Amino acid sequence: MGKEKTTVQSPIVVGLDIGTTKICAIVGRKTQHGKIEVLGIGKAESAGVTRGVVSNIQKTVQGINSAVDLASGQSNVEIRVVNVGIAGQHIKSLQHRGILTRRELNSEISKKDIDKLIDDMFKLVMPPGEEIIHVLPQEFTIDNEPGIKDPVGMAGVRLEANFHIISGQVTAVKNIMRCVTNAGLQTQELILEPLASSEAVLSEEEKEAGVCLVDIGGGTTDVAIFHEGIIRHTAVIPFGGNSVTEDIREGCSVMRNQAELLKTRFGSALAEENKENEIICVPGLRGREPKEISVKNLAYIIQARMEEIVEHVYYEIKSSGYEKKLIGGVVITGGGALLKHLNQLVEYVTGLDCRVGYPNEHLSKYEEMPKTVYDDLKSPMYATSVGLLIKGIQKTEELLEEMKKPGVIVAQPEGKDKVKKRGLFSTLLQKTSEFIKDDMNVSDEDYIRP
C-alpha cells in the first residue's frame, strides 16, 4: 500500500493571472507533503488590460498565448485547462441568508444539502448587467442552533446559512472568458483574485484571529477581510502601482518607463525617511540637459497616492464592521508591497500591525527549475498567480473525489522526455475507452476512435 502511494502523482493544474501589468501562467501540482511544486512559469506584458478589466481582446489574447507558451515549454506540459483570476472595480460583495427545510428526518445532513443551499443562492435576482461569481457559506444554523461551521453529518430539519456573495459585471466576465477561449484554452474555474492571494500568503491562524489582506497590483488594490476562519468582506479599489507611476510621470516631467524605474529603485512611501540632499539624475531627451530629481520630492509624490490607497483600504475595514477584531492586522502583498516603508505607512494610517505577505511558505523546489526562477516566485507580485494554482488544485481534488477516482495520473513531466502530456479530461477519456475495450473484449482493429 505504501509503495502505491509513492508512485501516484497528483494532477497538474494551471493558474492564469490576467493582470494590468503582467499576464502570468503558472503550472504546478501538489507534492506528497502538501506543498505546491511549480513545474513552469510564463510571464508576458499585459497591454490589453486596464484597472483589472479587459480593454483590448486581441492584445490580451497575444499576452495569454505568450505566457502559456513559455510555461508550457518550461514544464513540458500541454496546457489546455486553466484557472483564471478576475478583479476590477465592478466587483461587489453582499451578505444573504438561505434556508433549506429537509424532509428526511432520519438521514444526516450531507454535502448535497449544502450544495443545494449554495445553488439556490446562485438563483438570486441581481441588478441588470451583474452576475454571481462566488457563493461562500459562513456560519450555519440547524434547528435554531447557531454558530455551526461544518454541519455535515449532523441531524436536523431546518438548515440555515449566512452567505457571502461576490458578483461582477456580466460584460467584464464574458470578456475575460472570451480572451481565454480565443487563446485556445478552457476555463476550469473563475476565481476572485483577493481570494486567490489569501490562499497563498495567509496562514489559517491569521484567518482565525482576524486579518485584512491588501493585494496592491498594477491597476487595482484588492481587499479581503477574514475573521474566525471565514471571509467576511471583499472589495476592489481602482487604484494601484500604475497610479503612482502616472503621478511621478506628471510630477517629475519624465517618461513613463523612467517614472517606473524611479518608483521601483528609489521610491519610498514615507518622505520623512529620506534625506534632503539625495539627488537622482535622469537622462534628458535627444541631447537635452539631464534632469535632477530630489529623492525626498519623489517620496512626497508617492506618499500622497499611497496614503489615498491606504485610506480607501481603511474605509473598507471600517465599513466591514471588523476594525476592532483584526488581531492579525494587515497583510500587504502584490507588486506594490515591495515599495519601501509601505508597512510603516499602513500602520500609521490604520493603527493596525502590518507585514508583507510572501507566497513562499506553500512552495516546494522542483528539481529541474532554475534557482533564479524559483527565487523570483517568492516575490509578493506572484501571490495571486500562486493562489490561483492552489485554488485550482483544491478544485481538481474535489472533482476527482466526486468521480471516486482519487490520485488519477493526469500529466507527469519527465526531464528529458519531450513528449507533450495529456490534460485531465483527455486522460480520463482515454482511461474510460480502455476500460470499455477491455470489458467488451474488442481489439484495436475493431475499435474506431471518434
96-105 average pLDDT score: 87
Q: Which three cell numbers stand for residue 335?
A: 507588486
pLDDT value for 434? 52
- Residue ranges and CATH numbers for the domains of the chain are 1-80+358-450 (3.30.420), 92-171 (3.30.1490.110), 201-357 (3.30.420.40)
Spell out where 289-353 has E strands.
Answer: 291-294, 330-333
Tens digit of each residue's pLDDT (9 = 90 or more) over 280-316: 988 888 888 888 999 999 999 999 999 999 999 999 9
Distances (CA, A) of 347 to 33, 56, 296, 384: 36, 38, 21, 23
Q: Which three cell numbers stand for residue 184?
A: 485556445
Burial 318-340 (b: 16+ CB within 10 A, else e): eebebbeebebbbbbbbbbbbbb
pLDDT value for 10? 79
CA 26 – CA 382 distance, rounded (Å): 10
349-362 average pLDDT score: 91
pLDDT value for 430? 53
What is the reported pTM? 0.84
